[in-house]
Amino acid sequence: MTNVTIGAGPGFFPDFPGAGFVPAGGVLRQRRNAGAIEAWGVEAEAERAFGDRLRLRVAAGYTAAEVDGGEAAPQLTGLRPAQTPQLTVTAGVQWRPLDRLELGASLRYEGARFEDDLNTRRLDPALTVDLRADWRLTPALALYLAADNLFDAAVQTGLTADGIASYDAPRVVRAGISFRR
């Protein structure tokens, strides 16, 4: 099932009861079984520990995907599935300079993707950086300070037909206590 574009505003769509009026710039979509998605890709992940104090990790995924809309949605045939980037890469480091202190950093890159099924609204690629520091009070209890999306990257998650973008969370700084058994 996917959201399939069946009309664009302005206008009424009498063939779709309950749709009502779609304003200029608006889009009418309906959940449908829309053929199949053919996808192939490659994923790789590597991790390396340098003693018990330093750990590096990198992971990447490349996906080539194409929709076959079949009879239900022939307008989608040959297009990329919505919200599906071709390339995603993450990397991270964890360092324990002291027995009680652990520091971590991670980077995440997500390539460009399309917001909509018709591949008309492209979402920009994004790079985010996260940091975290943990101070162990006991083997099971720790205080932490974390910053997600440290540089306040504008990560697009949606884009309307008239160009209004939606974004993922901005920079978030958290402090707390974690308990691990």
Question: Which of 6, 51, 49 is closest to 29 using CA atoms?
Answer: 6
Where the chain has pLDDT below 70, the residues are 1
Span 152-169, pLDDT tens digits:
999 999 988 778 899 999
pLDDT of residue 80: 94
Classify residue 158 as exposed, middle or buried by CB count within 10 Å of its CB (0-12, 13-18, 19+).
middle
Output the pLDDT for position 33. 72
In the prediction, which pLDDT does 1 show? 67
pLDDT, residue 69, reads 86
What are the φ/ψ torsions at residue 55 (nearest 5 degrees)?
A: -135, 130
- The domain segmentation of the chain, as residue ranges, is 36-179
